[in-house]
Structure 1
Amino acid sequence: MRRPLESAFYATVEKRDRPELANQAVIVGGGDHRGVVAACCYIARLSGVRSAMSIREALERCPDAVVIPPNMATYKEVGHRAREIMAAFTDLVEPISIDEAYLDLSGVRDRLSISPAQALVEIVRRFEAELRITASIGLGPNKLLAKIASDLDKPKGFAVIGRAEAAAFLAPKRVTILWGVGPALEHKLWTDGITKVGDLQDKEEVWLVRKYGTMGRALFRYARGLDNRAVEPEAPSKSISAEETFDWDISAPATLQQELQPLAAKVARRMEREGVLGRSVIVKFKTVDFQQFTRSRRVAPTRSAEAILATAADIVAQEADGRAFRLIGVGCADLTDPSTDPEPDLFGFLSGARGAGPKP
């Protein structure tokens, strides 16, 4: 299992296509002062530039960086071709994003008479020869360890974490190395005196479950390098969303609601293309000081732009309390198949359902 493409993927493709930038700091993202960094090369990272940082701050940290607008069509083409190369070695490829994926190589020895490590070396060789890009690789017995290994030796690294040494390897690491431990959970763990993975290893499972619920059970396993999540080829989308960064800060509810209209329409079109309905509407907010939060609401299964907009607008009306926002996003989650969970018709009845119509 592995994550094949480095997170500096966009910048890597840009440097491939513009060799004169090979030794320069490259930032891919919006070109104006309100834009954000979509990706950056490792030279830019040495100056402290990171993804999601504002372009203004990035250029303050790295004044000599070259800022390039994203070329998503090219990135998607390269990502698609990379997945075709992976598929030659295993049918079990789970894309995580345009620039990363998990592979289950447990059957590659029987299929191609090579080891998983040899398969990964050959995949990277083909990346370099056919696509002219590099990759960072992590090899492990499960998703958790493969992902951690892939981050150990960037760029263009190859790291392996075995099952036997996993617990000892993880013990001195910060808890944030584990899947699912973000800033909020890290703070909760810190308040309980847990900062290292070894601290989790010292806790009994029942104690962790009592403190952190179902996540406690996962932490007990992850701290020991255990992970039973399977590689799921072409897993269906968990959510579909669109967002907009404003040219100026917006606080007026009516203006924010107006910005929702094209976003709701974009989400509805994508849901139509993918043939799904959403059972939750989510609105994402980012304040002027870069604080981000989301609000969601359950709805009857829908992909109607009007229904998405109405729910999102109601959420905005509740959250627009005078704060200024620099970004807003709209999405649908808890996606479902219309054949098993049909969209209600105008009167709230299931389309095509038999029975009495609305009473006068």
Structure 2
Amino acid sequence: MPAFCRDCLTTFDNAPRRCPACGRPRIASHPELFSLSIAHMDCDAFYASVEKRDNPDLASKPVIIGGGRRGVVSTACYVARVRGVKSAMPMFQALKLCPEAVVVRPRMDEYVKASAAIRKMMQELTPAIEPLSLDEAFLDMTGTTALHGAPPAVMLARLVKRMKEDLGLTGSIGLSHNKFLAKVASDLDKPRGFSVIGKAETHQFLKDKPIGLIWGVGSVAQGALEKAGIRTFADLLRWERQDLSARFGSMGDRLWHLARGEDRRRVSAHAPVKSISNETTFFEDTSDTDVLDGHIWRLAEKVSDRAKARDLAGRVVTLKLKR
């Protein structure tokens, strides 16, 4: 089975338990490892990682990025996440779970600088880069093996290795045969993960997974699907394409394809963007102005993050409120 060492990048025909070249155990192996070329790179707790890099005193401490003691959590490092802290959580609740956490206000200028440095490294691998935000992007490495003298998997491992060595930041790689599965794969083994979903295993991998795995299916859409008895990919497979489309519109047709692991979207560096948005749904009504203000700030930062990743500026800002 094709394999390579994620530390020294030595390749093998059969996966050893430890790399014979450097002795380390971080071996990536998969039957399709050297034939897949669509990847998703996602930095690990990006904002918090930049803060820890720039302030070594924070290295072992739980760090929360947010707007002070009031408001909500923007993101948190993995030390804080182990304690139950999550994005969008009210700050008072996060501090109850992790009272020793260090709360840091975001420094967007520093995050933009770090993102630009990572993007420059990506551009050395392929021009086909589709940024999603400052800390994540799709890469299409098709046809680059001859250029680099190594398959895409090895070059992607080299990318995150350089990120760690040169920038002090880590990332996780998802490698597959389309964008949907590459993004799913990048979340399977964070932080510092390298996960592969091959063509041959796609249906077996997906069938028992919850529909919440689909990027873009939020709590409202998930609730509508569950009302229709759709909780897993296996449930989706039982529906006819026309019935899903009739019930859920364009989302239904997309779900029919994704249930089968099909995603024909290309990785495009120049895909037209008509709008950039972010929204959230509360599980219960709230009139707490600190919480509402915190959420508006957090969502605005996400929109700003995505715009900066694509070098875009906006002229119109719309706030949508449903009651």
> Normalised by the size of structure 1, how large is the TM-score?
0.67
Whole-Å separation in 2 of the counterparts to 1:222 and 1:240:
23
Q: What stretches of structure 1 move > 6 A for 4+ residues in a row? A: none
The 3-state SS of whatever aligns with 2:42 is coil
Whole-Å separation in 1 of the counterparts to 2:135 and 2:313:
24
Instruction: Indicate the structure (1 or 2) with the bigger Cα radius of gyration.
Output: 1
1:200 is matched with: 236
**Are residue 211 (structure 1) and residue 247 (structure 2) matched?**
yes
Whole-Å separation in 2 of the counterparts to 1:30 and 1:205:
45
Change (3 A) 1:53 1:69: same
**Are residue 37 (structure 1) and residue 73 (structure 2) matched?**
yes
1:249 is matched with: 289
Q: Which has the higher strand share?
A: 1
Deviations 1:13-46 (A, max 9, x none): 111112222221110111132x321210011111
Structural mapping, 1:156-235, within 5 Å? 156-235=192-271
Superposed displacement of residue 208, structure 1? 1.3
1:25 is matched with: 62
Q: Which amino acid aligns with 2:152?
A: P
Deviations 1:66-114 (A, max 9, x none): 1111111111100000000000000011110011111011121132222
Superposed displacement of residue 135, structure 1? 0.5
Whole-Å separation in 1 of the counterparts to 2:194 and 2:263:
21
Identity percentage over the alignment? 44
1:259 is matched with: none
Match of 1:121 among 142, 147, 157: 157
- Structure 1 spans left out of the alignment, 5+ residues: 251-255, 257-262, 286-292, 294-318, 320-360
Q: Which has the higher contact order (CA 8 A, sep 6+)?
A: 2
Whole-Å separation in 2 of the counterparts to 1:242 and 1:143:
20
Structural mapping, 1:330-341, within 5 Å? none
Whole-Å separation in 2 of the counterparts to 1:274 and 1:215:
27
Q: Which amino acid aligns with 1:95?
A: P
2:50 is matched with: 13
Give aligned pairs, total.
263
Deviations 1:256-295 (A, max 9, x none): 9xxxxxx9xxx9xx9xx957766xx63234xxxxxxx4xx
Whole-Å separation in 2 of the counterparts to 1:241 and 1:274:
13
Superposed displacement of residue 3, structure 1? 2.8
Contact residue 136 and residue 158 of structure 1 kept, 8 A: yes
- Between stretches 202-211 and 41-50, larger displacement belongs to 202-211
Deviations 1:195-217 (A, max 9, x none): 11111112221221122122111
The 3-state SS of whatever aligns with 2:171 is coil
Deviations 1:137-175 (A, max 9, x none): 100111100000000001110000011211110100101
